[in-house]
Amino acid sequence: MHAASVPSGTTPMMAQYLALKAEAGDCLLFYRMGDFFELFFDDARTAAQVLDIALTSRGEHLGVPIPMCGVPVHSAEGYLARLIKAGCRVAIAEQVETPEQAKKRGGSKALVARDIVRFVTAGTLTEEALLEPRRANVLAAVCDVRGTCGIAACDISTGRMELEECGPDQLGAALARLGASEVVAPEGWEAAPDGAIPRPGRDFASDGGEARLRAVHGVATLEGFGRFSRAMLAAAGGLVAYLDHAGRGKLPLLLPPVARAGEAHLAMDEATRASLEILVSSQGTRRGSLVEAVDRCVTGAGARLLAEDLSAPLTGVDEIEARLALVQWLHDDPLLRGDLRAVLRALPDLGRALGRVVAGRGSPRDLGQLRDGLAEARRIHDHLAARADRPALLDALLPRLTGHGALTDLYSRALVPSPPTERSQGGFIAEGYDHGLDELRRVSGDARRAIAALEAKYRDQTGIAALKIRHNGVLGYFVEVPARHGDVLMAPDSGFTHRQTMAGAVRFNALALHEEASRIAEAGGHALAAEEAHFEELVGEAVKSAQAIAATAEALARIDVSCSQAERAAEGGWCRPQVVDAPVLDVEGGRHPVVEAALVAKGERFVANDCRLAETDRLWLVGGPNMGGKSTFLRQNALIVLLAQAGGFVPAARAVVGLTDRLFSRVGASDNLARGRSTFMVEMVETAAILSQAGPRSFVILDEVGRGTSTYDGLALAWAVAEAVHAVNRSRCLFATHYHELSRLAETCEALSLHHVRAREWQGDLVLLHELAEGPADRSYGLAVAKLAGVPAPVVARARAVLERLEKGRAETGGLAAGLGDLPLFAAAAAAPEEVVDTLRERLAALDVDALTPREALDLLYELKREA
């Protein structure tokens, strides 16, 4: 059924539904009917399958039963979370008038008006139940402005907004760093990221984006926020326009935009992030990732900030040292650190509570969280301000923890100690805040006590001990007696009026009861209206202070991250790295944080290794058997660089880390079937990116380059790549390989040295020592590893016989590396002119023109033109 078509004979309700569905587009439509959100047609089929709920039918449309399913309004959030996780987008159509208003407007059969009040998508969530506490929920907008890509990113649950620009070739790396839940892009843009939601191109105009930002923040110019390029403003325009569309004209909390400079952060492409498993392991979960091994934060906001630190490490020595100094200060005072963590653990998530309040989805509980969180922030400030020798970063954070005295005082007077999550029933305004409200509550309470007295009076009057006064939403207050006593109250002079007969009871009304019930209803209605008015006033005060509250939330998160880094360092015996502006990496006793944590959990010990790269020894060629620890050694040093530049301690006994501008990891490639790429093709694409982008300040780890093709091709590629990294890129590099022939490179590459992971065979079994030693590997131990893996003994024996024959042939002929000694140096080979190949000239020279028919000549001319 196409939602936009409304055939004749369609019921008014279905016509209304189809009109709303046309507006919802490709979103599932939650259509409010009483206490349920209903879905129809294909939406119902999709939702029933995802949510595993019953698919029913309702009436007919064009002679065909209408598929239908529904979810209760009170538990809709849980169902929404599952739909969003499954990749669905949902439009919420609410009733925008009451049945009474509908009757007054259009008579007794008038249909209640409905409208889409909000689009719920992966990047526009603010509800606590729909968000992961320890993960940011980022919405990104991207576009192209004259060859430059603009990126606007926002976590609307906290309001933080960042703008940046990059070249088209860097867009994938930038989006990988952001980890956006949802990306929007101009429709018709061929270079749009996979899965991006197309939006009208007019939304991505730079002048429109600037105007939207000025309007959101109520300023005449954006200069006070920073300098933004046309590409940044265009992306910001698309982002704000999409949020306006999703919120149906109501924007969420948006803090002033911050311009992100690309050179201020360590650059890593998507392949490197996946290889190093920074936020997500190779299994697609947080478990087994770097962040899981490092995270000791006690607040959700701290965990989100730590993930951001690891995703975008710094490249400035001063900023890195400022973070390290605060971590050191907390590391050296375990009692203070323990006290701080205990206080932080009890804090509410201030940023997200503020986000819900500003977005109009807040509750009294959210206001209570703001009150409690801001009051606790003041106490943390007072405690830390009294300490001596505070680090500079802490001094910069402390002022952001204060300045909310008036707001917390107001909320303390206005709100009950534990406000409810729902405001529809009232009861969240504290006694004594509004004397008029207190009087309404007194009247309502007096009436309730009067009803209790009436119940006792009616029992005495009728002699029916089982008589009760009850209440429900349909009848209001009523007198109920067991059916066997009904005749007593049915008498004309009893003073009771019959209301309803049930299977085992009879219900009545009485004049005195009706009067007291009216007093309760009237006072209760006025009380609810008064509380609602106060709620809006209190929300308004929070909105006025939104930027200051957000700054407090961010400062608390930074303190939590610093405590977490100090706690992890103390727990694991990590050291403070010395960060220098030089092309070095000097690590003593380095360890892999994830692998070490896994071994410790099993009661085993991690074997630490040193790494000393310098300008004169910048490329280490690492050999040794599989399972010997080569890949672990490569990755652990990349992670030590990352952790150091993120401003944390590192898993080592000592570490001097030279500032790195770009980090590359080509380790453990796998097939990318979706893009039609084999493992070897993926490996070559990643290697090409390294060779074209790495520089003298970069750090590169390469594992088994060339293993996915023939032996000769693989060796040739590995040889050439190692030479290029050494002579052209001049990056610090760890290069793991099984090609023993590459050890010959040490003869011609002055800054290349040979190393291997140690292993020994003992009584026919392989013993992996996991230690790194200088010099080339003596052998690969491949057959021993195969035996260790459980390969059948006859197969291993046959392989050993084949290996002996191959090694004998290599000894006789010089093997794979025969003739490589006469190879010219890489620089000389690169400078040599390429052999000119002119296939068109060769074909024309070989052509017998007289033998061609006119048709053949014409076909040949077309073919040569295509080739040219």
Residue-wise pLDDT for 792-842, tens only, equals 888 888 887 887 777 776 665 555 555 555 555 555 545 555 555 567 777
Q: What is the 3-state secondary structure (H, E, C) of 142-183?
A: EEEECCEEEEEEEECCCCEEEEEEECHHHHHHHHHHHCCCEE
Cβ atoms of 628 and 622 closer than 8 Å: no
> What's the pTM value of the predicted model, to 2 decimals?
0.84
**Tokens 């059948």, located at residue:** 792
Chain centroid, CA 689 distance in Å: 26
| 344: helix, strand or coil | helix
Cβ atoms of 428 and 441 closer than 8 Å: no
Minimal CA–CA distance to 242: which of 209, 220, 207, 217? 209
Is it the case that residue 313 has pLDDT exceeding 80? yes
Q: How many CA atoms lie within 13 A of 315 on its CB side?
A: 17
Is it the case that residue 530 has pLDDT exceeding 80? yes
What does pLDDT average to over the chain? 88
What is the biggest distance separating any 2 CA atoms in the chain, rounded to whole angstroms? 129
Chain centroid, CA 725 distance in Å: 34
CA distances from 530 to 157, 357, 420, 426 (A): 29, 19, 16, 9
b/e 290-302 (16+ beta carbons within 10 angstroms → b):
bbbbbbbbbbbbb
The continuous run of DSSP H or E covering 443 comes out as: helix 435-462
**Tokens 């024309």, located at residue:** 844
Minimal CA–CA distance to 177: which of 98, 92, 85, 280? 280
Q: What is the 3-state secondary structure (H, E, C) of 580-639?
A: ECCCCEEEEEECCHHHHHHHHHCCCCCCCEEEEEECCECEEEEECCCCCCHHHHHHHHHH
Is it the case that residue 316 has pLDDT exceeding 90? yes
pLDDT in the model for residue 834: 53
Is it the case that residue 715 has pLDDT exceeding 70? yes
Chain centroid, CA 56 distance in Å: 36
Is it the case that residue 849 has pLDDT exceeding 70? yes
Task: Answer positive or negative: Cα dihedral of 238, 243, 245, 246.
Answer: positive
pLDDT in the model for residue 764: 62
Is it the case that residue 772 has pLDDT exceeding 70? yes
| 582: number of Cβ within 10 Å | 13
Please name every residue paired with 700 in a beta bridge, in sequence order, or none if there are none: 664, 733
Tokens describing residue 476: 């209001």
pLDDT in the model for residue 447: 73
Minimal CA–CA distance to 574: which of 650, 496, 460? 650
Mean pLDDT of 193-222: 93
Cβ atoms of 797 and 803 closer than 8 Å: no
| 40: helix, strand or coil | strand
Pick from 115-124, 579-588, 732-741, 769-778 the range whose average pLDDT is largest.
Answer: 579-588
Give the contacts of 406 (CB within 8 A, at least 6 positions apart): none
Cβ atoms of 40 and 17 closer than 8 Å: yes
Q: Rounded to whole angstroms, how far apart are CA atoms 430 and 485?
A: 44
Q: Rounded to whole angstroms, how far apart are CA atoms 516 and 448?
A: 8
The continuous run of DSSP H or E covering 409 comes out as: helix 405-414
pLDDT in the model for residue 836: 56
Tokens describing residue 826: 């890489």
Mean pLDDT of 95-103: 85
Q: Which amino acid is at 523?
A: A
In this structure, what are the phi and psi dihedrals at residue 737, rounded to the nearest 5 degrees? -155, 160
DSSP letter for 669, please: -
| 675: number of Cβ within 10 Å | 10
Tokens describing residue 142: 């991207």
In this structure, what are the phi and psi dihedrals at residue 736, rounded to the nearest 5 degrees? -95, 140
DSSP letter for 222, please: S
pLDDT in the model for residue 79: 92
Is it the case that residue 37 has pLDDT exceeding 90? yes
Is it the case that residue 128 has pLDDT exceeding 90? no
Q: Rounded to whole angstroms, how far apart are CA atoms 727 and 512?
A: 99
Q: Rounded to whole angstroms, how far apart are CA atoms 650 and 315?
A: 17
Give the contacts of 684 (CB within 8 A, at least 6 positions apart): 717
pLDDT in the model for residue 795: 85
| 776: helix, strand or coil | coil
| 61: helix, strand or coil | strand
b/e 767-790 (16+ beta carbons within 10 angstroms → b):
ebebbbeeebbeebbebbbbbbee
pLDDT in the model for residue 538: 95
180-184, 521-525, 663-667: segment of lowest average pLDDT:
521-525
Chain centroid, CA 772 distance in Å: 37
| 701: helix, strand or coil | strand
Minimal CA–CA distance to 749: which of 641, 848, 619, 653? 619
pLDDT in the model for residue 674: 43
Q: Rounded to whole angstroms, how far apart are CA atoms 719 and 714?
A: 8
